Amino acid sequence: MLVAMAGTFKRIGGIFQAKANKVLDKAEDPRDTLDLSYEKQLEQLQKVRRGVADVATARKRLELQAQGLQKQADKLQTQAKAALQQGNEDLAREALARRAALGEQLADLKTQHDQITEQEQKLIDTSSQLQTRVEQFRTKKETLKASYTAAEAQTKVGEAVSGISDSMGNSGQAMQRAQDKIASMQARAGAMDELLASGALNDLSAPVDDIQKELDKVSSTSQVDNELAALRLELGTGGTDEETAALPAADQGGNGKGGTQS
């Protein structure tokens, strides 16, 4: 049971770690990471340069020490000559012995100087190589940052365009619904006008029954026929007997007396 619980906790811990890494990856800006890496490389380069400066200082110190010993050796050589000139051989021997000891020290200093000089040259070469790499990294870093910035801007533009497209799609649907409603209302209004014109719908403000409607229709038709017959007589085209008979007495004949003149 303990093993099972441990396995469960381990899986849960893995899930939390995966989610944490996902959040960190989402929050991490690669431009900041590149800048941080570049700063660390500059720090390492500065350390190498300080190492070169320290070794050069040590070399210079050995050179100054060797110069001092060389001056002492030259002085002892001069003193040995002077002692011999005075016939003091023992003093000349002592001066030469000291000069020999200084010579051994100078030899040791030379060995150390050669080693330090070699080490300094290696550090100089390393510093130069690092300088080249850091400069190359800096160029690559700026290129990658520019590419990321461009990609980020393009992504934002794409997201904005997508949002506008969705908004336009919704607006288009709303506009289509409005147009459909307008068309429906226009069709309904037109149908109502036709129904009113045909008399299918009565005007409620002046109600008329069906019998009166038929009487009015016949009266209207008779009036039109009378006017048509009168126009024909006026134009001299004549009319049918039925049309003439249908005319009022005032409209038949030229004088209105019911007969024709010979």
**Per-residue CA distances from 153 to 36, 146, 160 (Å):** 22, 10, 10
Could you tell me if 233 and 250 are in contact, meaning their C-beta atoms sit under 8 angstroms apart?
Answer: no
What does the pLDDT read at residue 143?
92
SS3 159: helix
What does the pLDDT read at residue 72?
94
- Dump strand ranges (E) for the chain: none
What does the pLDDT read at residue 186?
78
The yes or no reply on domain 15-164 and CATH 1.20.1740 is no
| C-alpha to C-alpha distance for 235 and 232, rounded to whole angstroms | 5
| C-alpha to C-alpha distance for 94 and 79, rounded to whole angstroms | 10
Could you tell me if 83 and 95 are in contact, meaning their C-beta atoms sit under 8 angstroms apart?
Answer: yes
Could you tell me if 92 and 84 are in contact, meaning their C-beta atoms sit under 8 angstroms apart?
Answer: yes
pLDDT per residue as tens, the chain (262 positions): 544 545 554 555 555 455 545 544 556 788 899 899 999 999 999 999 999 999 999 999 999 999 999 999 999 999 999 999 999 999 999 999 999 999 999 999 999 999 999 999 999 999 999 999 999 999 998 999 899 899 888 888 887 877 766 666 666 677 777 777 887 877 877 777 776 666 655 555 555 566 666 666 666 677 778 888 888 888 876 555 555 555 554 444 444 444 444 3
| C-alpha to C-alpha distance for 201 and 223, rounded to whole angstroms | 25
What does the pLDDT read at residue 255?
43
What does the pLDDT read at residue 28?
75
Q: What ranges do the domains of the chain cover?
A: 15-164, 211-249
What does the pLDDT read at residue 209?
61
| C-alpha to C-alpha distance for 249 and 262, rounded to whole angstroms | 20
Helices (H) and strands (E) in the chain, counts: 5, 0
What does the pLDDT read at residue 210?
64
- Residue 34's nearest CA partner among 105, 140, 120, 131 is 140
Give the DSSP letter of residue 201: S
